[in-house]
Amino acid sequence: MEVAKHGPIDLRDINGSTMLHHAVNIFHQLHKGDRNGRLWVSLIVLTLLNRGIKLGLRDSWGRTARDLANGASDQIGDEAGGCQVKVTYREPAEEVCTSS
């Protein structure tokens, strides 16, 4: 969780996968009954989204993290619903360019 909170947001591995790619993969590898593990991964995904990770980044196979999430039957965002955790997502602030 500390890497998701404080690590470089654009960190990628040798295959071009971002932290978001890895979080989505971990979520889908967890046992369906592991509510605690799934909640933690959901919180990591939310942290990365709130920090402004770019959703359009593709790995070496041309997949975005969204492609990985949509390819599975379980929905990451649904996991927090039964745990009484307030899940919020804010749009990343747009960069403001000033010319002098």
Q: Where are the alpha helices (DSSP H) in the chain?
A: 2-6, 19-29, 35-51, 65-70
Q: What predicted TM-score, i.e. pTM, was given to this entire model?
A: 0.64
pLDDT single digits (tens) 16-33: 888 888 888 888 888 778
pLDDT at 81: 46
Q: What is the pLDDT along the chain (100 residues), one digit of tens a residue?
A: 677 777 788 888 898 888 888 888 888 888 778 888 888 888 888 888 888 888 888 888 888 888 888 875 444 555 444 444 454 545 544 444 455 4
HSE-up of 48 (CA within 13 Å, CB side)?
A: 25
